[in-house]
């Protein structure tokens, strides 16, 4: 056993030791530990133990509310188990793989998927226990089971029922199935984190966050990746210069990009998957033979099996739960936050919504987070960090192109120079041509996510180009390219 494997086993043992502590009521489907009878009472029942639900439950409990949280699976939700956390850990591993093969090839150092996934699972297990402990310390009663709302103030878990003054639905989203014949042959991002070994070749269908991140990570683990993107570019809601520079970087790293590619059919033959697609509206069908396909074509809000329609809950235009500005649904005792409602589907927005709502319902009305200027990152290589408006959005907002100016810099970072790579980084600022007020910052570099977090604050405080010119740069950094 290697030192590292021993470390992982140690972490697992520690995790399983702590996991024995937090008490969780288990309610099997259709059954109950206690005889059915009068429902229990609670101020607040939260359905869903992901980022949004946990944040709201802990905050409500800190205000003295009696809170129950129902989760049928592991606490932590998509972010911890099938999203941000395992993806970011794999991304670290993939970065090390590139550094190791570039700089330490003579020592034989390399990053291996099967080893990486063991470490990812150990960290995810540790985090799930931390979530449970935090809920327990806050005094939240945890109930494991499948929740349904049997009335506007009653949550049924098997034969058990809890009555609550208010109910919060934070049940998240699920990967959208690929809507073509044979679409079920494609894996989803949920499946990737369970892969014990990697396919030799992979077709990634989609051009959004998940498609880009997974294509970038998996190609660095040695998978031959083809991306089938139905738009003419990646990440269509991001600034076009970022999309173009990212596509060039991915192509230079061996990812094959097919734009304007509409997938029509998936078929299985002799252990391989054939992906048929049309390009640029032409009638001719192309096909790709790959060992596996991954569909990353969006995520659907998950709430249809909760019994909410019967209570008068309506859906919004995107298929999520319709809520007002205060996250209240059309059933007045039922609230909803996170991926199950329309808006930016990001872990930090879900947490901010949960805490704000819990403060409003059970504590003092808090200040609302700024959901208009939300920084966001894509953890590909090179990574993207972005906040505010793209050039196209700023022009549309201002009404005339001459009202908007941009400053774009392309450069090779010191880190890349050291690694012997000429991969270009990019920083782009979008600002008001007259006042100099910065409207958007867009970065492509592995340091981008860290830089953009602080830059979001500058934008909220109304930073102008003159502030950047009169702030002394920190050298040598990637961030200094924004200044001066």
- Residues binding ligand NDP (CB under 6 A): 179, 205-211, 213, 230-231, 236, 263, 296-299, 345-346, 376-379
Token readout for 134 is 């935090």
- For residues 296 and 302, give the distance between their C-alpha atoms in angstroms, rounded to a whole number: 17
Least distance (Å) between residue 384 CB and ligand NDP: 9
Least distance (Å) between residue 212 CB and ligand NDP: 8
Token readout for 166 is 């208010």
Residue 222 and residue 234 in contact, taking contact as beta carbons nearer than 8 Å: no
Helix (H, G, I), strand (E, B) or coil at 138: helix
Residue 344 and residue 374 in contact, taking contact as beta carbons nearer than 8 Å: yes
Any idea which residue has 């086993």 for tokens? 9
Residues 6 or more apart whose CB falls under 8 angstroms from that of 180 comprise 263, 264, 265, 266
Token readout for 305 is 């099996």
Measured between alpha carbons, how far is residue 457 from residues 100, 115, 120, 277, 394 in Å? 35, 38, 31, 43, 19
Q: What angle do CA 327, 329, 335 make, to 5 degrees?
A: 55
For residue 445, give the nearest of 379, 387, 346 by alpha carbon: 379
Closest to ligand NDP by CB, 190 or 397: 190
Closest residue to ligand NDP using C-beta atoms: 208
Closest to ligand NDP by CB, 169 or 296: 296
Closest to ligand NDP by CB, 82 or 141: 82
475 is catalytic: yes
Closest to ligand NDP by CB, 25 or 231: 231
Query: 81, 106, 442, 475: which is the annotated catalytic residue?
Result: 475
Least distance (Å) between residue 286 CB and ligand NDP: 14
Least distance (Å) between residue 208 CB and ligand NDP: 2
For residue 163, give the nearest of 71, 68, 29 by alpha carbon: 68
Least distance (Å) between residue 259 CB and ligand NDP: 11
Helix (H, G, I), strand (E, B) or coil at 479: helix
List the beta bridge partners of residue 45: 68, 167
DSSP conformation letters of 214-241? HHHHHHHTT-EEEEE-SSSSSSTTS-HH
Least distance (Å) between residue 266 CB and ligand NDP: 11
Measured between alpha carbons, how far is residue 278 from residues 269, 297, 429, 460 in Å? 20, 17, 36, 44
Based on DSSP, count helices (H) and strands (E) in the chain, helices before strands: 13, 22
Closest to ligand NDP by CB, 178 or 331: 178
Closest to ligand NDP by CB, 242 or 468: 242
Least distance (Å) between residue 129 CB and ligand NDP: 24
Closest to ligand NDP by CB, 376 or 423: 376
- Give the DSSP H or E segment for 161: strand 160-169
Token readout for 6 is 């021993």
Closest to ligand NDP by CB, 258 or 407: 258
Give the CA dihedral 138, 144, 146, 151, nearest 10 degrees: -50
Token readout for 467 is 């502030």
Least distance (Å) between residue 179 CB and ligand NDP: 5
Number of residues that this document lists for the chain: 484
For 400-428, give one letter per residue: b (16+ CB within 10 A) or e.
eeeebbbeeeeeebebbeeeebebbbbbb
Least distance (Å) between residue 243 CB and ligand NDP: 11
- For residues 484 and 40, give the distance between their C-alpha atoms in angstroms, rounded to a whole number: 63
Q: What is the DSSP letter of 255?
A: -
List the beta bridge partners of residue 301: 173
Closest to ligand NDP by CB, 205 or 323: 205
* Residues that are catalytic: 475
């Amino acid at each position: 056993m290697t030192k590292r494997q021993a470390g992982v086993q140690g972490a697992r043992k520690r995790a399983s030791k702590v996991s024995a502590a937090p008490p969780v009521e288990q309610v099997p489907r259709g059954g109950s530990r206690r005889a059915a009878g009068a429902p229990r009472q609670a101020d607040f029942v939260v359905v869903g133990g992901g980022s949004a639900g946990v944040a709201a439950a802990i905050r409500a409990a800190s205000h003295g509310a009696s809170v129950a949280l129902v989760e049928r699976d592991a606490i932590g939700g998509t972010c911890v188990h099938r999203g941000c956390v395992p993806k970011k850990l794999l991304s670290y591993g993939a970065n090390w793989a590139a550094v190791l093969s570039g700089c330490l090839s003579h020592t034989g150092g390399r990053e291996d998927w099967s080893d990486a996934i063991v470490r990812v699972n150990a960290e995810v297990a540790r985090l799930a226990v931390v979530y449970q402990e935090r809920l327990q310390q806050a005094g939240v009663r945890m109930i494991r089971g499948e929740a349904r709302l049997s009335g506007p103030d009653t949550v049924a878990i098997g034969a058990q029922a809890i009555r609550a003054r208010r109910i919060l639905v934070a049940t998240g989203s699920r990967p959208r199935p690929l809507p073509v014949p044979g679409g079920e042959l494609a894996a989803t991002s949920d499946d990737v984190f369970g892969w014990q070994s990697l396919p030799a070749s992979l077709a990634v269908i989609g051009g959004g966050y998940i498609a880009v991140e997974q294509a970038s990570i998996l190609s660095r683990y040695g998978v031959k990746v083809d991306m089938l993107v139905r738009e003419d570019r990646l990440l269509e809601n991001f600034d076009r210069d970022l999309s173009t520079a990212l596509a060039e970087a991915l192509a230079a790293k061996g990812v094959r990009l097919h734009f304007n590619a509409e997938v029509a059919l998936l078929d299985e033959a002799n252990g391989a998957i054939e992906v048929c697609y049309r390009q640029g509206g032409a009638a001719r069908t192309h096909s790709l033979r790959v060992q596996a396909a991954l569909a990353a074509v969006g995520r659907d809000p998950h709430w249809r099996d909760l019994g909410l329609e019967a209570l008068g809950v309506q859906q919004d235009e995107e298929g999520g739960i319709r809520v007002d500005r205060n996250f209240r649904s059309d059933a007045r005792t039922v609230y909803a936050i996170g991926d199950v409602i329309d808006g930016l589907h990001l872990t930090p927005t879900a947490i901010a919504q949960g805490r704000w709502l819990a403060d409003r319902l059970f504590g003092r009305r808090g200040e609302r987070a700024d959901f208009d200027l939300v920084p966001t990152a894509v953890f590909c290589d090179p990574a993207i960090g972005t906040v505010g408006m793209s050039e196209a959005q700023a022009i549309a907002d201002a009404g005339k192109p001459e009202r908007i100016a941009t400053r774009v810099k392309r450069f090779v970072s010191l880190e890349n120079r050291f690694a012997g790579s000429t991969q270009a980084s990019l920083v782009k600022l979008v600002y008001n041509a007259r006042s100099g007020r910065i409207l958007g910052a867009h970065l492509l570099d592995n340091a981008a996510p860290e830089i953009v977090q602080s830059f979001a604050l500058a934008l909220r405080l109304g930073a102008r180009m003159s502030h950047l010119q009169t702030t002394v740069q920190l050298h040598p950094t990637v961030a200094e390219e924004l200044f001066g």
